[in-house]
Amino acid sequence: MINEKTIREMLACATQAKKNAFVIRSGHKLGACVLTSDGELYSGCNTESIVMGLGLCAEQSAINHAVAHGKYQFRAVAVVDTQPTLPCGVCLQYLMQFFQIDQHDIAIIAASEDGGCEITSLRTLLPRGYQTRSNLERLQAYRK
């Protein structure tokens, strides 16, 4: 379980990232933060494109930020919106890929800017998400 201090730090990280969201189509800013297995925090924000379908969710942005720093094992993802908003199905499936590295469930923290917060987990939200069999050894090679 993630302690309150860490949750506060994650929410502050996600809130800061939210300010940088590039939302030229919707105007709907989101910020996210991932907690790695070694306690590091990496942020991300949603990025939209003029061309429909070329954007990136805040959660994927945060995950990719961590990956760019050589981090592949996650313990939690926090998302900040105007109201508690859970990750979309694509983001949950993206997280499932990283879950398979060490089979450690990932806490999902959905928070609003005014302090509302919901905590659940990847396995609760996506109990039967796709898991590879043929590439499992390759994924698990990223364990650190």
pLDDT for the residue 52: 85
Residues pairing with 33 in the sheet: 43, 78
| Residue 121 to residue 76: CA distance in whole angstroms | 8
Pair 48, 23: CB distance under 8 Å: yes
Q: For 55-75, what is each residue's pLDDT tens digit?
A: 999 999 999 999 999 999 999
Domains contained in the chain, CATH given: 4-140 (3.40.140.10)
Distances (CA, A) of 67 to 61, 62, 70, 100: 10, 9, 5, 15
Pair 44, 32: CB distance under 8 Å: yes
Q: For 5-26, what is each residue's pLDDT tens digit?
A: 999 999 999 999 999 999 999 9
Structure tokens at 85: 């908003």
**Which residue type occupies 41?**
L
Question: Could you tell me the sign of the dihedral formed by the alpha carbons of 69, 96, 116, 8, in that order?
Answer: negative
